[in-house]
Amino acid sequence: MLNVFSEGEGAVHTSDGVRIFYRTAGEGERTLLFMHGWGGSGSGSFWTPLLRHLDPENLRFVLVDLRGHGRSEHTRDGFTTERFAEDMFEVADHVGARELIPVGYSMSGRWAQWMACSRPECVVGQVLVGPAPASAMPLTPELADDWVQSVATREGYHRFETRFTKNALPDDILDDCFAAVQSTPEFSLRETLRMCAQAGFAEKLSLVKVPTVVIGGLHDPILTPDYLRQQVAAKIPGARLALLDCGHNLPLEMPRETAAVIEGFMAGLASLSKPRGLKNAREPGL
């Protein structure tokens, strides 16, 4: 069994002076950079069930706390898609990864797609797990109020998660996720929702030739299969959509099956040459 937290940890001070925390495991040539969802962290155990089912041979795992989350600096600056993506590239530089495969869950699917747009020479593939799209999502201030209030208590958080999952999660897993969201400032919770509601960069995706797999839940009530097909997979040339029998929380509801899709994708990458893509793009308004 892989203990993903036994290998090492570190931090990088970004070019705008913010401390970003990360954990690593493995010493393989391929680097998978894992980015968590809303209110989550990479320093907790959210990714552990999934990583236990990934073969670590020839791979290196980097698990990041986004700025304003977990053990990264709880700054109020830099809450833009462009800056979040730049943070990830600076973490990659810090660990010596010249090429990487971003694994973006939920809201981080948006940052992952921008990484492929802005520096395709560094991104050799991307795994988008229940991802937010590159276009604006209908996340209103009223919805943000509801979500922030819902996760304020343990009981409320457990009820909140059941709104988005099909397969019931054990209390200890939910408690670990609740601990992560409790450590996330309300400012970060609201700002990341605002970022996903902004006008995006979907028109740029057609110019990017980065191998992509989109993994979705058949019963996801917020990022439904049709939504992922139309707003994510259809926008990225050659992207494949894989659907699992679960809700939104794929890494916890079906970790073995999610890992199997990722391993299949990684095997396909081994047979591909490095793709060409769009260079020096900038997201409007960021």
pLDDT digits (tens, 9 = 90+) for 60-94: 999 999 999 999 999 999 999 999 999 999 999 99
**pLDDT tens-digit map of 210-241:** 999 999 999 999 999 999 999 999 999 999 99
* DSSP-derived secondary structure for the chain: ---TTSSEEEEEE-TTS-EEEEEEE---SEEEEEE--TT--SSSSTTHHHHTTS--TTEEEEEEPPTTSTTS---SS--SHHHHHHHHHHHHHHTT-SSBEEEEETTHHHHHHHHHHH-TTTBS-EEEESPPPSSPP---HHHHHHHHHHTSSHHHHHHHHHTT-SSPPPHHHHHHHHHHHHTS-HHHHHHHHHHHHS---GGGGGG----EEEEEETT-SSS-HHHHHHHTGGGSTT-EEEEESS-S-HHHHSHHHHHHHHHHHHHHHTTSPPPP---S---TT-
Output the pTM of the full model. Answer: 0.93
Residue 225 tokens read as 């299969």
Q: What is the mean pLDDT of residues 4-28?
A: 88
**Rounded to whole angstroms, what are the CA distances from 135 to 86, 226, 249?**
19, 15, 21
CATH 3.40.50.1100, applies to 8-269 = no
Residue range 129-154: average pLDDT? Answer: 97
What is the predicted pLDDT for the residue at 74? 98
Q: pLDDT value at position 265?
A: 96
- Domain residue extents for the chain: 8-269
Structure tokens at 54: 């990934």
pLDDT at 259: 97
pLDDT of residue 3: 52
Q: 7: which 2 tokens?
A: 């290998």
